[in-house]
């Protein structure tokens, strides 16, 4: 949407302040992308990290990996990634990911404004 999307709140899965891994990966992503990385870039990095750890720990057997999610975790760019089952769902997920409600500044659409963090 470009400038037309400025001022519309959306969710970003980023911590208020990144840890050392988040800072290091963020710098590498900025260099590679030549722009500020979105939370999706950090999410992708974390996904590969967690999946690689699960494969190293449990092999490639699909049933073994599926049974391991409750014991699987990793230090991610946005904090420790651990999985749990949210009540009412049958899926394993990172239920406590850091969340921001943000928008793009209408005066400067390249700048994000964090409206709420939690």
Confidence band for 87, pLDDT divided at 50, 70 and 90: confident
In sequence order, what DSSP letters do the residues of 16-37 get, joined into one string? Answer: SS--HHHHHHHHHHHHHHSSPP
Q: Please count the structural domains in the chain.
A: 1
**Contact status, residue 6 vs residue 109, Cβ threshold 8 Å:** yes
* pLDDT, the chain, mean: 91
Domain that residue 63 falls in: 2-117
Position 53 scores a pLDDT of: 93
- What is the tens place of the pLDDT at every residue in 22-78? 999 999 999 999 988 989 999 999 999 999 999 999 999 999 999 999 999 999 999
């Amino acid at each position: 949407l470009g400038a037309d999307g400025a001022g519309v709140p959306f969710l970003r899965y980023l911590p208020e302040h990144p840890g050392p891994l988040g800072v290091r990966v963020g710098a590498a992503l900025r260099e590679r992308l030549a722009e500020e990385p979105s939370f999706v870039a950090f999410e992708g990095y974390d996904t590969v990290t967690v999946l690689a750890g699960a494969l190293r720990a449990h092999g490639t057997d699909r049933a073994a990996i599926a049974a391991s999610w409750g014991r699987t975790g990793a230090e991610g760019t946005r904090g420790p990634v651990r999985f749990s089952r949210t009540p009412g769902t049958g899926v394993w997920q990172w239920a406590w990911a850091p969340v921001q409600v943000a928008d793009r500044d209408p005066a400067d659409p390249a700048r994000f404004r964090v409206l709420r963090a939690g």
